[in-house]
Structure formats: C-alpha cells, structure tokens
Structure 1
Amino acid sequence: MLIDGKKMLDVANENNFAVPAFNISDWAMAGGIFDISEEREAPLIVAIHPDELAHTGQELTRAIIERAHRSSVPVALHWDHGATTEQMLTAIRTGFTSVMLDGSMSPFEENIARTKAAVDVAHPVGISVEGELGTIGKTDSEAEDGAATIVYTDPADAKAFIEATGVDSLAVAIGTCHGIYPSWMKPELRLDLLEQIKAAVGIPLVLHGGSNNPDAEIGQSVKLGINKINISSDIKVAYHDKMREVLADTSLREPNSIQPPCIAAMKVVAAHKIELFDAAGKATLY
C-alpha cells in the first residue's frame, strides 16, 4: 500500500525503529527492493534523487507507484534532495508522497524560508516534507552533493528550524558522508549530539550518508532517535560489483541472465540493513 511519509515515520518514531529509504535507479533494482521488503515484512521508502529521475524518466515513477499500491507492506515514495519548490511541484504532480527540500548549503534564515515554502506547497495536498540542517560530507564524484566540511546540526537551531518551518522530519548532520568512504577515512558518528538533538525536537530524524558506517554506530543511532536512514551507495555497489563479475562471461547478453544474480546480491545487503534498522516485521504496525 502507498502511504504518505509522515504516517510512515510517525509510526517509526513511536516504536523506535528506522525505515530504510533505498535509492532506486532502475526497474530491476526496484523489483528486488520490493521483494526483500515484503519477505522481511518491513516498511519501505523508495527514494529517488533528481539525478536518478533524470536517468530513469518519470515513467519509472509511475511503475513504482503501481507496484506500491499492490505491495503487502506500506510504501512511501520520497523525492530525495530536492533543490527548489518548483521541483517539489513536479514531484507532487508525479505522485510522490514525501518530498525533501535540501536547503542545508544555504544560510540558516534562507534555509528556513525555502523549507517553509516547500511545506506551504506540500502540506495542503497531504504530502510530507523533510528538511535538512547542517551539512553532509561527500567522499567521491559518484556520490550525491555534499559539503567539503561537515557542519554539525546544533540542537537549539534544530528546534527553532522545526518551529519556523513545520517540517515533518529533519535530516541531521552528525558526521556522515554521501558515498563510499575511502580506506584512509574513518567514519564516526556524533551519537552524543544525536541524543541532544532528539531531546530538543522529538520529531522523526533522518540519517543521510550511512553507507560504510560501522553497524554498531548505525544500530545505536536508531536506538537514539533516527527513524529513516538513506541507503544508496551500499546497494548499488553490491548490485554492480556482481554485474561486473557476471559479465566476465562474455557469452551472456540477455538481461534475464545477467540481472538476477545482481538483484540477489543487492537483496542480501538490503536485508542486512532492514535487520540493522530494526524494521523487520514492523509492517504489521501500519
């Protein structure tokens, strides 16, 4: 069933788990993510970034919406890292049930104004809005946009931001980066800061850039108030690493020969995330 993002994350917030938000770039990946979520009875957020939508086209979005309607688990379709209210309108018209306005690279007051404008567009038609405060790092050119230097979310600013904008969830900066961490970089979350932010705001919190972070840290972040975790690089690496291995057999040419092992490899990673976020079995709460 297709539901809005607010309902999805409010249940997660009340029951202390995190919903995985898997970034999808093609139909084969989408099918695998739906399948593993249904197998594990886990709620699902399908996230699509503007760059991903430019690659796939809006036709894929309509197919995902149709698949969501007949899914046995609750599904929200999330517009990830939108930059303008015009993009929000496009996402809403396309059928997204949750949108993000990412004003994190703007000055604080401008971020408030832009996010409030997105809320004013989305809330009247029942669409939830995610904002972002602080900056997420970026590890490589393949990753989504990020900052060269992480600016951590301030708990007092987070409280003021939520009160001024009316956002339904907030992406916070506690030390993550978009992309896959290079070997010389040690990922480390400011879990103490997360605890302070959650105490100050109470609403569902979102973690971006969780790929490669140690499982123990991610699991603890869920216990301390993270209710949505974006997963993009980890599942795409699993999918395409297996594809490179399969394509070593140069006699293969049919997608139905090449893609199934890739989907299976991706599902293993996705299943691990579902368990780590304590989302398995939680579809029954909706």
Structure 2
Amino acid sequence: MPFEGNRTLDILYKAQRGGYGILSQACYDTNSVVALIRAAERCRSPAMVMIFPVTLMYGKGPFLQFCVTAARDASVPIAVHLDHATDPEHLELALGLAEQGIKFDSIMVDASHAETDEENIAIARPYVERAAKLGIPVEVELGRLEGGEAGLRMISDAKLTNPQKAKEFIEGTGATILAPSIGNLHGKYINPPNFRQDILQDLRDTFQGAVPICLHGTDELPDALFRECIRNGVSKINLNSWARDPYAKALGEALLTKPFPDAVEEATEVFAAVCERFYILFGSAGKA
C-alpha cells in the first residue's frame, strides 16, 4: 500500500466512516498554522493545514518544514495539504521538496483548466504517479469551478461534474481524492448558491467511501448547507476567507496600538476562534 499511514487519508477515511467533515483551512503564515492547531487541540479535532501555491512559492522549504513540524508535534491528527497546484513550477517545487524529505501529506493537482476530461487526465497523471512513489496521495477536480482567489487562475467557464464519468476519471488520473463541481465557485457568491446535492449523492454511491470528496468554494455558505454536504458524502471542506479576513483585520488594528507580540497573540486567537466554530459545525470536535 503506497499510502499506508498517510495522515490525510487516515483523517478523511475516519471522517467518512464517522459522518463528519474535516476543516482544511488555508494558512498564509506561521501565526495561522499555530492558530489552527491550537484550536484543534482545544477541540480535540483532526484538521488540515492547507497551503496555496503562492504561499509555497514565497516560503518554500523552510515554511513547509515549519508546517510539517507543527503538524507532527500536535497532540491531535493534523495533515498538511497543497491546494490548487496548477503550474508545473508549483508541482516541481512540491515534489522536489518531498524528494528532499520535506513532504506534504497530500497535494491537489489541478488541471481543471483543461478543455476536456481526457486532457485533464493527461496533465494530471504523470504528477499523480510521481507523487504516489513518494507516498503522497493526490486530489483532482472533475468539472470546473468558476472564479479565482489567492493567486489562483481566474476561471470563467464553469462545468458541472458528471458523476457517471467520475470512476473512469479517478482511474484515469490515478488520484485518490475528488473535488467535484456542483455549483460551487471560488470567491464570493452573488446569488444564494444552489448546490447540486444529487451529484454528491451519486458520487457517494459510486465510490462507497473509497474516494474522499472535497468541497471547494465555501465563502459565506450557510451552516445548513455545510451540514447537508457532509450528510451527502463530503469529508474534506476547504475554507479560506472565513478565518483569513478577520485575522488580517484584527492583526492590522492591534498593531496600531499594542506591542507586536500582543497584537500577534490577539489575532491568532481570532483565527483560532473561527476554526473552533467550524470544528463544532462539521462535527469533528471530540473525534481526535
């Protein structure tokens, strides 16, 4: 088994069996990582530190090493995930670091910008195979989400996932985690989202727990919609601005009036409080 003992898959498979969701929170700096793990330990919840390629390119090996060390030192299961790696330079850096022993627990090879599913598979598969040799499972996107954030490519041609093609797509790419397009988008929703829960239900029935399902595009979603997606088979839930924006606001304001360490601590607690809310909402609190 190439992924035996892999943290991401251990966390997600347990969540699937237990019927709860896992917070995969974007972290842009060390304070965010500390906050996510601090909150997870308080709630006794598993969690995932998620890094965008723009952050990896900025911090490179030293930042990833910090994330991995913090995750391993935590008293609860924490995985480190690279989100939306679309460009060869992102993937080459991540896989190159893994070959040096500084390794993500999972990565997303995002070829959803491809014109066809066949092209998506052709782009993703070589990276999936390289990652597998390093013991790193890969997430892929079937369909295409609209929008963009945090240095991601802007996409303006959304395409819903066809559940009938999902098994063939996973087998074609060799990937382990699936991110579907169900009406979700990156960035803010102009209208209330109308998620195709039938797609999630079909994917759940197709894979029977063998392929974890990841929900992207979660800005400003109502709590009830998160719960519904979890009931319909989602186990990995990516969050970004929910914690990032109040953290940045708190840090900026506190730095104007307080000593630097006090300002950082105050902002860290703001980030942690958001994480705690989602550990409870997703049902992962107490599951570590």
TM-score with structure 1 length normalisation? 0.89
* CA distance in 2: counterparts of 1:169 and 1:108, whole angstroms: 16
Cα deviation, 1:177-208, whole Å, max 9, x if unaligned, reads: 22333xx4322322122112222233210011
- Distance in 2, Cα, partners of 1:146 & 1:278: 32
Indicate if the aligned counterparts of 1:159 and 1:201 stay in contact, CA closer than 8 A: yes
Counterpart amino acid of residue 26 in structure 2: N
1:238 aligns with 2:246: yes
Instruction: Check conservation: 1:4, 1:128, Cα contact below 8 A.
Output: no
How many angstroms does 1:251 deviate by?
A: 4.1
Quote the offset at 1:50 in angstroms: 0.9
Q: Is the 8 A contact 2:147 2:154 kept in 1?
A: yes
Kindly report which structure 2 residues correspond to 1:1-286, keeping only aligned pairs within 5 A, or say none.
3-83=6-86, 84=88, 85-93=91-99, 94-106=102-114, 107-138=116-147, 142=150, 144-181=152-189, 184-202=190-208, 203-247=211-255, 250-252=256-258, 254-283=259-288
Q: What secondary structure is seen at the aligned counterpart in 1 of 2:279?
A: helix
Change (3 A) 1:71 1:142: closer
CA-CA distance at 1:147 after TM superposition: 2.0
Between the aligned partners of 2:185 and 2:171, the Cα distance in structure 1 is: 27
CA contact (8 A) 1:136 1:151 kept: yes
Partners of 1:104 and 1:87 in 2: how far apart? 20
Q: What is the DSSP-based 3-state SS (H/G/I as helix, E as strand, rest coil) of the residue aligned with 2:270?
A: helix
Q: What is the aligned-residue RMSD (CA, Å)?
A: 2.0
The verdict on how the C-alpha distance between 1:142 and 1:86 changes in structure 2, with shifts beyond 3 A counting, is closer
Q: Give the Cα–Cα distance (whole angstroms) in 1 for the partners of residues 63 and 93 of structure 2.
A: 17
For 2:257 and 2:282, how far apart are their aligned partners in 1? Answer: 40
SS in 2 for 1:123: helix
AA at the equivalent of 1:261: E
Measure how far apart 1:42 and its partner are. Answer: 0.9
Give the Cα separation in 2 of the matches to 1:91 and 1:104. 24
Judge conservation of contact 2:54–2:150 (CA < 8 Å) in 1: no
Tell whether the 8 Å contact from 1:144 to 1:178 is kept in structure 2 after alignment: no
CA distance in 1 between counterparts of 2:274 and 2:54 reads 23
Q: Secondary structure at the match of 1:260?
A: helix
For structure 2, which runs of at least 5 residues remain unmatched after alignment? none
- Following superposition, the deviation at residue 243 of structure 1 comes to 2.5
TM-score, with length taken from structure 2 = 0.89
Structure 2: distance between partners of 1:20 and 1:190: 21
Deviation at 1:241, TM superposition (A): 2.2
Which runs of no fewer than 5 residues in structure 1 stay unpaired?
Answer: none
**Distance apart, 1:117 and its partner CA:** 1.4
Task: State, as a whole percentage, how many aligned pairs show the same letter.
Answer: 29
What secondary structure is seen at the aligned counterpart in 2 of 1:282?
Answer: coil
Shift of 1:166: 2.4
Paired residues of 1:25 and 1:53 also in contact (CA < 8 A) = no
In structure 2, what residue type is equivalent to 1:172?
Answer: P
SS in structure 1 at match of 2:191: coil
Number of residue pairs aligned between Structure 1 and Structure 2: 276
CA drift at 1:28: 1.0
* Structure 2 residue matching 1:206: 3-state secondary structure: strand
Amino acid at match of 1:214: P
Question: Structure 1 residue 38: deviation in Å?
Answer: 0.8
Question: Could you tell me which amino acid in structure 2 is paired with residue 131 of structure 1?
Answer: V
- Look up the equivalent residue of 2:285 and give its one-letter code: A
CA distance, structure 1, for counterparts of residue 135 and residue 151 of structure 2: 31
